[in-house]
Copies of this chain bind each other. A is one copy, B any other.
Amino acid sequence: MTENPHREAPAFTAAFAAQFRDLVHWRRDVRRFRPDPLPDGSVERLIELACHSPSVGNCQPWRFVLVASEGRREAVRASFQRANRSALDGYDGEQRALYARLKLEGLEIAPVHLAVFADEVTERGAGLGRQTMPEALRYSVVGAIHTLWLAARAEGIGLGWVSILEPDVVAGALEVPADWTLVAYLCLGWPVEEHLDPELERAGWQARAATADIVLRR
């Protein structure tokens, strides 16, 4: 840990920084859940913390939808199945066989379904910071999701992000306002297993890149 010669702020110890690194390394996208529920109020607490994430112009554009209705969950699963079948059809040969074996979501078992949207027309923030890069609004929602993800994992709660979905179908099934854009559909619950390596690395789909490949100096 580096030393800040000007520090007057909350002191985070080197032990905390090391544990934070462990958390980032071990986080994982979880797709295998136990069916037992999370303790009452735990998801609400995670959402409350996520709302302290950064947002462009402080516009706080994140909108969380807790999906409990079995009918709505079934519509989301059907959307996944269509999108996944269509994705499978885009692969050939060995890659297709490998894709077909992957476990890509936990929609059947996860006790909590949490959809996260961006409110594209929020008046909060009065547009500050998003004239030339309007996508910064949706990026703010992603930051909140990442906070929620790390906070969940710090409590041992598993979280998986499902993006193999038809966003308009999901928005329709959840009857959200027309100006909300789906950013993520999350499954939460206790994980069945723990791994240090990503499932897609373990399954032979995609290995880790060398950091040197992705840094330029200008």
Which residues of A pack against B, CB within 8 Å? 1-10, 12, 16-17, 19-27, 29, 34, 36, 38-39, 42, 44, 47-49, 51-54, 56-60, 62-69, 72, 83, 86-87, 90-91, 95, 99, 102, 104, 124-133, 135-136, 138-139, 142-143, 145-147, 149-151, 153-157, 161, 163-167, 174-176, 182-184, 190-192, 194, 198, 200-201, 205-206, 208-209, 211, 214-218
List the B side residues contacting A58 at CB < 8 Å.
Answer: 198, 200-201, 205-206
* CB-nearest residue of chain B to A130: B163
Do A131 and B86 touch across chains, with their CB atoms under 8 A apart?
yes
Docked Cα-Cα span, A48 to B215, in Å, equals 10
List the B side residues contacting A127 at CB < 8 Å.
Answer: 87, 90
Which of B136, B183, B214 is close to A139, meaning CB atoms less than 8 Å apart? B183
Do B164 and A132 touch across chains, with their CB atoms under 8 A apart?
yes
Do B47 and A215 touch across chains, with their CB atoms under 8 A apart?
yes
Do A206 and B72 touch across chains, with their CB atoms under 8 A apart?
no
Which of B7, B23, B34, B65 is close to A12, meaning CB atoms less than 8 Å apart? B23
Given A54-B29, A163-B129: A211 in contact with B16 (beta carbons within 8 A):
no
Do B19 and A12 touch across chains, with their CB atoms under 8 A apart?
yes
Do B90 and A131 touch across chains, with their CB atoms under 8 A apart?
yes
Given A16-B16, A206-B57: A218 in contact with B154 (beta carbons within 8 A):
no
> Residue among A128, A147, A155 with the most chain B CB within 10 A?
A128
Distance in angstroms from A12 CB to nearest chain B CB is 5
Do A163 and B146 touch across chains, with their CB atoms under 8 A apart?
no
Do B22 and A19 touch across chains, with their CB atoms under 8 A apart?
no
Docked Cα-Cα span, A146 to B53, in Å, equals 9
Do A206 and B124 touch across chains, with their CB atoms under 8 A apart?
yes
Q: What 14 new A-B contacts, CB under 8 Å, besides A57-B205, A65-B217, A66-B218? A: A7-B156, A9-B191, A10-B22, A54-B149, A57-B200, A58-B200, A63-B215, A66-B216, A66-B217, A68-B217, A87-B127, A124-B206, A129-B164, A133-B163
